[in-house]
């Protein structure tokens, strides 16, 4: 008679599956950060005309996030707040300055404008990931892009930056 001892089967997690799950979770988190979960937050894109009209009505706070050099060269959009993304403390410093500008109200509608839309898109995603719920990207920017003229070519008003 042969005596066999059997061990109880213990679920041995498959390390490949764990890695895959972690990788998928990381990719999803990265996608949300980069693409912005548009269905979860209000906001989106505005043309320069729309941003100007909404700013003039008081429906949105227009924020020029370009550098101080850029503000000196072209001025800032009339009525806009100048809060640079080129903060000496990086994006966290930009976030803190903008948060102070909106008096801590992360639900306040904010429209971000830069030169051609790249930095405003990045700042838009960054702010959404940190709880701002009503952020707009003025995607054509001050200078314009291949598909839209921008604030300056549209002839929208600017003012001299007094904070520069």
pLDDT at residue 66, rounded to an integer: 97
- No. of helices (H) and no. of strands (E), the chain: 6, 7
pLDDT at residue 2, rounded to an integer: 55
Residues 1, 18: Cα–Cα separation, whole Å: 42
pLDDT at residue 6, rounded to an integer: 54
Q: How many CB atoms lie within 10 A of CB 156?
A: 18
3-state SS, residue 133: coil
DSSP 60: S
Tokens 């988190």, residue?
29
> Is domain 43-159 classified as CATH 3.40.250.10?
yes
Residues 67, 133: Cα–Cα separation, whole Å: 25
CA atoms within 13 A on the CB side of 97: 18
> Residue ranges of the chain with pLDDT lower than 50?
8, 10-41
pLDDT in tens, 62-75: 999 999 999 999 99
The whole-model pTM stands at: 0.74
- Residue 22 gets the label, from left (phi > 0), alpha (psi -120 to 50) or beta, of alpha
pLDDT in tens, 130-164: 999 999 999 999 999 888 999 999 999 999 987 67
pLDDT at residue 161, rounded to an integer: 84
pLDDT at residue 37, rounded to an integer: 36
The per-residue pLDDT of the chain, averaged, comes to 82
Where exactly are the structural domains of the chain? 43-159
pLDDT at residue 25, rounded to an integer: 40
pLDDT at residue 59, rounded to an integer: 97
Question: What are the structure tokens assigned to 31, written together?
Answer: 């996608």
């Amino acid at each position: 008679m042969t005596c066999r001892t059997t061990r109880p089967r213990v679920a041995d997690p498959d390390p490949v599956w764990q890695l895959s799950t972690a990788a998928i979770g990381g990719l999803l988190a990265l996608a949300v950060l980069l693409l912005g979960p548009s269905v979860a937050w209000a906001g989106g894109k505005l043309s320069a005309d729309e941003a100007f009209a909404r700013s003039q009505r008081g429906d949105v706070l227009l924020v020029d996030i370009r550098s101080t050099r850029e503000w000196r060269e072209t001025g800032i959009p009339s009525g806009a707040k100048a809060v640079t993304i080129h903060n000496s403390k990086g994006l966290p410093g930009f976030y803190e300055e903008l948060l102070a500008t909106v008096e801590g109200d992360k639900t306040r509608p904010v429209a971000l404008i830069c030169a051609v839309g790249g930095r405003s898109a990045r700042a838009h995603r960054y702010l959404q990931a940190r709880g701002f719920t009503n952020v707009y990207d003025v995607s054509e920017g001050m200078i314009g892009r291949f598909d839209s003229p921008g604030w300056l070519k549209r002839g929208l008003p600017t003012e001299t930056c007094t904070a520069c």
